Amino acid sequence: MNGAAWLIQSLITQGVKKIFGYPGGAIMPIYDALYGSDLEHVLFRHEQGAIMAAIGYARATNSPGVCIATSGPGATNLITGLADALLDSIPIIAITGQVPSDLIGTDAFQEIDTIGLSFACTKHSFLVNSIYELPKIISEAFNIASKERPGPILIDIPKDVQLTKVEKLVPYFSRNQKKIFYSHRELKDAQKLIKKSNKPILYVGGGIGMSKSVLELRKFVNITGIPTVSTLKGLGSITENDPYYLGMLGMHGKKEANLAVQECDLLLAIGVRFDDRVTGKLDTFAPNAKVIHLDIDQAELNKLRKADISLLGNAKELLPKLTNPLNISSWQKKIIYLKEKYKWVYDHTGESIYAPSFLKQISKKMPFDTIITTDVGQHQMWAAQHMHFKYPENFITSSGLGSMGFGLPAAIGAQIARPNSTVICISGDGSFMMNVQELTTIKRKKLPIKIILIDNQRLGMVRQWQELFFKKRYSETHLTDNPDFVILVSSFNIPGMHIKKKSEIDGALNELFDQKGAYFLHVSIDELENVWPLVPPGSSNAEMIEKQSHEKI
């Protein structure tokens, strides 16, 4: 067997069922080994589509996504996806072909220093210098990708190594990972501090889903009665009907969430990293609160906000040890009051479609375990604010990197991972064009993905900032020359329709949810619609700008 065949074999041994990729010269031996093998490969039309699909797959299943690409341009096309996986801590194995070993460093055809590029955008990377290194590298790669804080791993394999024939390869078994021992002292201190607090808030994020501790968290919230706020990656962790759940906090968070955090005397931060989209001006964030920070990554503890108690550990293990009933009824009453006072009023008048209401309608109508993927921008924020998700794995959105073009391939990855779930991709007219070529993949694999395109003929979020902070100087944010989207999508054999009026919504959604196969809904909205509330850059979360009405030009 040659190196390529050994690679396929070891991926199968690791439990990999699907890989996503695109062929090329330097990776041909691997594609030859794939031909007729037991490992299913899904062909994309751009390597970026392949890696973003791997991310969608990984996020829908909490297990590694695998993608492959050739050398040079194939590898460079993976970079955005690797950076996305790094910032959102997603387990990805990216395998790239490389020019033959003796040509490395000679500026050969389709050669680029892939390992050099990987340093800034991966958790770790490997160059396979000889076939005998392969078992150890594969084993280590899967180990590192998933352990503790997950992340992307790149494996660069020169063509000659792929072609090397070898009778037998010694299997390698990674050492058992060191268990992370939490500090009993810190745990006791945390229990005491929580018990003493009068106005605690639980601030949760991506770490909950990634540590598979959603059920422990919900039990904790139920028994303690603690009010909760969530980051973008944490949405779906807390059940929506929890009476003290305040929703998303931060730059586009709910007003009640931000105000409660500014007032709280204890911030229990679990699986979060005090990101700037969440905190606003950092030294004004939760000014009255002591902080208990629980995370698996020691580098996050005290990185941005000094923690009174830092708990290095696994949320799944530690949440049950913190679960005790609390006596905070007057704070709970305040939370109910805030939720009622600031709850969103859907009072949009006129015939045109109002995205927040529209998305809320979809959320109510869709099957409960639907997976939503989004692209990046205003539609993304509206989806986060107005839709409900069953679990964190049901809301897949590029959070840390915020990469446009993510939604469609991520939906493909998620649908392949969970073929029995309804998958809806919500996109914008800017983002949709960035990986539109992947409509071919939907056609090829007959994926029943529902695509909803919120079209304001603008690069919406940027336009909003130009309106608010750059004196309405709308530089390069007009997308008034979009193609006819329904015609474009129909050329990939995907049916669809275009709606512009509120009265058309019910019929369109019925049509969409009745479809057995893929469907496309093009939704035109007012180009001047903005996302509210908004915390301006450099401001405290208490200084939110709220809904403003403005004249249509």
Partner 1 sequence: MKKYKLNIEAHNQHGTLERILRVIRHRGFQINSINMNQLNNDTKTMKLKIIVHSNRTITLLHSQLKKIIDISNIQIQN
Query: Which residue(s) pair with 98 in the sheet?
Result: 158
Six token digits for residue 505: 């919504």
User: 35-44 long-range contacts, Cβ below 8 Å, gap at least 24?
Assistant: 37/8, 37/12, 38/12, 39/8, 39/11, 39/12, 41/68, 42/18, 42/412, 42/416, 42/441, 42/445, 43/441, 43/444, 44/20, 44/409, 44/412, 44/438, 44/441
Question: Of the residues 9, 20, 44, 47, which is catalytic?
Answer: 47
Nearest-approach distance from CB 123 to partner 1, in angstroms: 8
Clarify whether 434 is annotated catalytic.
no
Question: Of the residues 14, 110, 332, 457, which is catalytic?
Answer: 110
Candidates 306, 250, 305; CA nearest to 279 is 250
Residue placing its CB nearer to partner 1 in the complex, 119 or 470? 119
- Where is 316: in which H helix or E strand? helix 315-322
Question: Of the residues 109, 119, 469, 470, which is catalytic?
Answer: 109
Integer Rg of the chain from CA? 24
Clarify whether 433 is annotated catalytic.
no
Q: How large is the angle between the packed helices 255-263 and 329-342, nearest 10 degrees?
A: 150
Clarify whether 255 is annotated catalytic.
no
Residue placing its CB nearer to partner 1 in the complex, 297 or 526? 297
Three-state SS for 312? strand
Nearest-approach distance from CB 262 to partner 1, in angstroms: 26
Nearest-approach distance from CB 522 to partner 1, in angstroms: 42
Nearest-approach distance from CB 181 to partner 1, in angstroms: 16
Residue placing its CB nearer to partner 1 in the complex, 193 or 296? 296
Nearest-approach distance from CB 149 to partner 1, in angstroms: 8
Residue type, 528: L
Calpha distance 208→218 (Å, rounded): 10
Clarify whether 378 is annotated catalytic.
no
Calpha distance 297→195 (Å, rounded): 25
CA 27 to chain centre: 29
Using CA atoms, how far residue 476 sits from 27, 465, 479, 485, in Å, is 39, 13, 8, 21
Question: Of the residues 123, 159, 254, 360, which is catalytic?
Answer: 159
Calpha distance 548→553 (Å, rounded): 15
Nearest-approach distance from CB 299 to partner 1, in angstroms: 4
Residue placing its CB nearer to partner 1 in the complex, 109 or 119? 119
| Cis before 533 (ω within 30) | yes
Question: Of the residues 387, 434, 461, 544, which is catalytic?
Answer: 461
Residue placing its CB nearer to partner 1 in the complex, 61 or 101? 101
Binding site for partner 1 (CB under 8 A): 115-116, 119-120, 124-125, 127, 129, 144, 297-299, 301-303
Clarify whether 317 is annotated catalytic.
no
Any alpha helices (H) in 264-354, and if so which ranges? 276-279, 315-322, 329-342
- DSSP conformation class of 120: T
User: Where do we find the tokens 């030009």?
Assistant: 553
Residue placing its CB nearer to partner 1 in the complex, 127 or 318? 127
Residue placing its CB nearer to partner 1 in the complex, 35 or 173? 173
Nearest-approach distance from CB 129 to partner 1, in angstroms: 7
Active site residues: 47, 109-110, 159, 461
